[in-house]
Amino acid sequence: MLAAVCAPAGVQAEDWPRWRGPNLDGISTEKGWLTAWPAGGPQRLWHADVGLGYVSVSVSQGRLFTLGNTDETDSVYCLDAATGKELWRHAYACSAKDPNGFLGPRVTPTVDAGRVYSLSRAGQLFCLDAASGKVVWAKDFARDFGAKPPTWGFGGSPLVAGDLLISEVGGAAGSVVAFNKMDGHEVWKAGTDAVAYSSIVPFDFKGQQCLAELSAAGIVGRAAKDGSELWRYPWKTSYDVNVATPILAGDRVFVSSGYGKGCALIQFADATPPKVVWQNKRMRNHVATCVRWQGQLYGFDESELKCLDFATGEQKWAEGRFGKGCLSIADGKLIIYSETGTVAVAEPSPDGYKELASCKVFEGKNTWAVPVLANGRLYCRSQADLVCLDVKAQ
């Protein structure tokens, strides 16, 4: 109550408790944050070494959660979101090795009801007490299901859907497995698709709770109650690199992949099989997921930031200075993070790229971890370091 009374007029703070934020769409409803920056950028409140990795952050009730690897040991970190002080760390043996040198874990933790769910690149799933780091329950996909990690390690964030914790496991083990989120017992498993690197998305359709899974084989609609397959559309990409999270809008789903594959808007209602509304190569999401905002898609076509019309696929503009970046949206503003360590704020408009502010937060090559705004603080990660910027309204 005191925080609400003392906050500046017009400021609305918000947690970011999981991959893609509160509504799993890459959009924060936080309002009143600082989008006009001094020449050197916002004040740096703190930085922390969190080990090697490609993991973004989750923020809930004053705590920040992320993963990293040091000396072939993974750690789930819990930091004070305001100060960066380490509150606890859960460590376990896990190789960081990668065939192309992209070392460490990939999966952003999910926070729900006082627990944090994390997944290693090798398929070690943990349910931890968010306050203490104590293990509540755990699974090992290789040991418990005979699953084999995909080439570059597991990349899909665990999804909490009601009483369930849902994750891709892969192949004969069950393409998707649902656990009771409280004690970890298996509720259902479904499918035999090989795992790609995308995250499962929940959606409601005609009164039914559903799941959208982008596997190595294609985009699949499932019933959340039992995992049964409702529809599917093939979407094969070189090396099975389907990474970007599907974007749902009514009876349509947007999918995108790199390696020359491109993107498509697919209609799945009243169509057997689902049909393509439009398809082109103007948005090839290699690693970063687009954000849909006011009828437009903003995202990275390989190394170019672009705006596409969601309904038609028409390209509105392109901006090439960020490389393979990533982005989110807060209070109607794009937050863009380049692979070379620049963070920028821009107006999301189909009329052209309109930058409001930018600054350099890291030098050299960085990860593709999505920038996160939560409670007036902006978090950006390099391969091993995490920086917190003060963007509270003055």
Q: What is the pLDDT of residue 12?
A: 64
Let me know if residue 228 belongs to a domain. Answer: no
| DSSP symbol at 16 | B
Give the mean pLDDT of 16-43: 94
Asked whether the CA dihedral 370, 147, 150, 135 is positive or negative, the reply is positive
CA angle (361 as vertex; 360, 365 as ends), nearest 5: 90
Give how far Cα 282 sits from Cα of 265, 289, 327, Å. Answer: 12, 14, 17
Give yes or no for a contact between 26 and 16, defined as CB atoms under 8 angstroms apart. no
- 1 has a pLDDT exceeding 90: no
SS3 80: strand
Least confident of 79-93, 163-177, 233-247, 369-383: 163-177
How many domains does the chain fold into? 1
Give how far Cα 221 sits from Cα of 36, 67, 173, 229, Å. Answer: 42, 30, 19, 6
Distance CA 330, CA 133 (A): 30
DSSP 180-224: ETTT--EEEEE--PPP-S---EEEEETTEEEEEEE-SSEEEEEET
Distance CA 219, CA 217 (A): 7
Let me know if residue 316 belongs to a domain. Answer: yes
The span from the first CA to the last CA of the chain, in angstroms, equals 20
Let me know if residue 119 belongs to a domain. Answer: no
Let me know if residue 321 belongs to a domain. Answer: yes
Q: Distance between alpha carbon 333 and the CA centroid of its chain, in Å?
A: 18
Q: Which residues pair with 117 in a beta bridge?
A: 110, 127
Give the mean pLDDT of 11-34: 90
The closest alpha carbon to 363, from 328, 387, 388, belongs to: 387
Residue 34 maps to which CATH number?
Answer: 2.40.128.630
Q: What is the pLDDT of residue 4?
A: 34
Banded model confidence at residue 244, pLDDT cuts 50, 70, 90: very high
Q: For residue 141, give both structure tokens.
A: 């996909």
Question: Domain containing 388: what range?
Answer: 29-42+288-367+369-394
Full-model pTM: 0.95
Give the mean pLDDT of 48-65: 97
- 7 has a pLDDT exceeding 80: no
The closest alpha carbon to 259, from 240, 278, 237, belongs to: 237
Give the mean pLDDT of 366-380: 94
Question: 114: how many CB neighbours lie within 10 A of its CB?
Answer: 11
Give the mean pLDDT of 99-103: 93
Give how far Cα 390 sits from Cα of 18, 45, 81, 167, 394, Å. Answer: 21, 6, 12, 34, 10
Give the sheet arrangement for strand 186-190, strand by strand: 159-161, 164-168, 176-180, 186-190
Let me know if residue 51 belongs to a domain. Answer: no
Give the mean pLDDT of 307-332: 96
Helix or strand (DSSP H, E) at 141: helix 141-145
Let me know if residue 147 belongs to a domain. Answer: no
| DSSP symbol at 36 | S
Let me know if residue 362 belongs to a domain. Answer: yes
Q: What is the pLDDT of residues 288-298, one digit of tens each?
A: 999 999 999 99
Let me know if residue 212 belongs to a domain. Answer: no
Distance CA 83, CA 71 (A): 26
Q: What is the pLDDT of residues 167-215, one digit of tens each?
A: 999 877 779 999 999 999 999 999 999 999 999 999 999 899 999 999 9
Distance CA 97, CA 111 (A): 27
| DSSP symbol at 42 | S
Banded model confidence at residue 377, pLDDT cuts 50, 70, 90: very high
Give the chain's mean pLDDT: 94
Give how far Cα 358 sits from Cα of 15, 44, 273, Å. Answer: 23, 14, 45
